């Protein structure tokens, strides 16, 4: 056991018994929504995992410990302290050494999940290659983490404020399979489709589990993306979303917002411009991803039992 890991008794017992476990991130709690919507999203995510037969393991860095499975009080602390910094791979050693707190990103959550022995992680959307990256080199650490860490990430694709074409090219270069759940096209977070094709379509959680199991059995390091489109009834109106994104991107450029501050800025402005519609869509897609992740985790557990 890594001395820096603090796994909750429930999660530890589940892992020992081979019960399905799904990792959940904490950046979405500290930075994804305002209070109390963030708390609602986090608590409901854990409920959805349980309803689908898996144990939820929300992950964060608290007082320098890599926490895997949070209490209600710890979830409340994250939800009511938006100044908690994001914790990606590069940040975790600093937070551990200083005994500090951090809300884990996709990359940070993947890293800690793998240390704990968790193979399936549900999030909203992965990070990717930012628009204009040819000049700025602004590429999310999530993509490199997917290339090196053996965790399947279930997401609604990536946010359409990113360069989705280059994001898929980057994942292909580093050998990361992108699986489309009952779709041939890569979803764009608030939209079911981006017009870009995924590598492989899968039509069941069992099929997705079989593919990632084969990948790891072959000794092929790294994760995979299971892209789960937002349900049509929860997707945002295309014209409204396009207008919101144009405005948000223009404002981010004018305000010289860059790096890890870009995505929270854009999401906040899109929330304002859409009158809160984006927040409801975000919650619904997260819960859908958690449900699917629990099903995949259950299939993986069944294969190893």
Q: What is the pTM of this model?
A: 0.94
CA distances from 242 to 125, 237, 250 (A): 18, 9, 12
Summarize pLDDT for 19-33 with one digit per residue, the tens: 999 999 999 999 988
Active-site position among 67, 159, 215, 283: 159
The Cα 133–Cα 39 span in angstroms is 33
CA 279 to chain centre: 16
- Helices (H) and strands (E) in the chain — how many of each? 13, 11
Which two structure tokens, joined as six digits, stand for 36? 């109390």
Distance from the Cα of residue 168 to its chain's centroid: 16
Task: Give the position of tokens 């764009």.
Answer: 188
| 25 in catalytic set | yes
What is the per-residue DSSP string for 7-45? E-HHHHHHHHHT--EEEE-SHIIIIIS-TTHHHHHHHHH
Stretch 86-93: mean pLDDT: 97
Per residue in 33-66, pLDDT tens?
A: 889 999 999 999 999 999 999 999 999 999 999 9
pLDDT confidence of residue 237:
86
> Tens digit of pLDDT for each residue in 177-204?
999 999 999 999 999 999 999 999 999 9
Q: What is the pLDDT of residue 265?
A: 83
For residue range 129-182, list pLDDT tens digits in order. Answer: 988 888 888 899 999 999 999 999 999 999 878 999 999 999 999 999 999 999
Contact 160, 131 (CB under 8 A): no
Query: Does the annotation mark 73 as catalytic?
Result: no
Looking at domain 5-304, its CATH superfamily turns out to be Indigoidine synthase domain (3.40.1790.10)
What is the tens place of the pLDDT at every residue in 200-255? Answer: 999 999 999 999 999 999 999 999 999 999 999 999 888 888 888 889 888 988 99
């Amino acid at each position: 056991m890594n001395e820096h890991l603090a796994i909750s008794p429930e999660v530890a017992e589940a892992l020992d018994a081979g019960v399905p476990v799904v990792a959940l991130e904490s950046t979405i709690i500290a930075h994804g929504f305002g209070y109390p919507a963030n708390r609602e999203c986090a608590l409901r995510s854990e409920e959805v995992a349980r309803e689908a037969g898996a144990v939820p393991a929300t992950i964060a860095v608290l007082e320098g410990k890599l926490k895997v499975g949070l209490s209600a009080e710890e979830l409340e602390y994250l939800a009511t302290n938006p100044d908690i910094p994001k914790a990606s791979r590069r940040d975790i050693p600093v937070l551990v050494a200083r005994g500090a707190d951090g809300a884990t990103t996709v990359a940070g959550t993947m890293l800690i999940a793998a240390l704990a022995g968790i193979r399936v992680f549900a999030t909203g959307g992965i990070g990717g290659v930012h628009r204009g990256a040819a000049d700025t080199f602004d590429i999310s650490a999530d993509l490199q983490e997917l290339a090196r860490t053996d965790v399947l990430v279930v997401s609604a694709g990536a946010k359409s404020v990113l360069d989705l074409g280059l994001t898929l090219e980057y994942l292909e270069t580093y050998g990361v399979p992108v699986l489309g759940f009952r779709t041939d096209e890569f979803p764009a977070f608030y939209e079911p489709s981006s017009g870009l094709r995924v590598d492989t379509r899968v039509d069941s959680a069992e099929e997705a589990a079989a593919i990632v199991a084969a990948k790891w059995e072959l000794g092929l390091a790294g994760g995979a993306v299971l892209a789960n489109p937002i349900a049509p009834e929860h997707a945002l109106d295309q014209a409204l979303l396009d207008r919101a994104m144009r405005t948000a991107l223009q404002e981010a450029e004018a305000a010289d917002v860059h790096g890890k501050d870009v995505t929270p800025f854009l999401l906040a402005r899109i929330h304002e411009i859409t009158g809160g519609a984006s927040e409801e869509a975000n919650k619904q897609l997260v819960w859908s991803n958690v449900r699917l992740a629990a099903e995949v985790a259950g299939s993986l557990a069944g294969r190893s039992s």
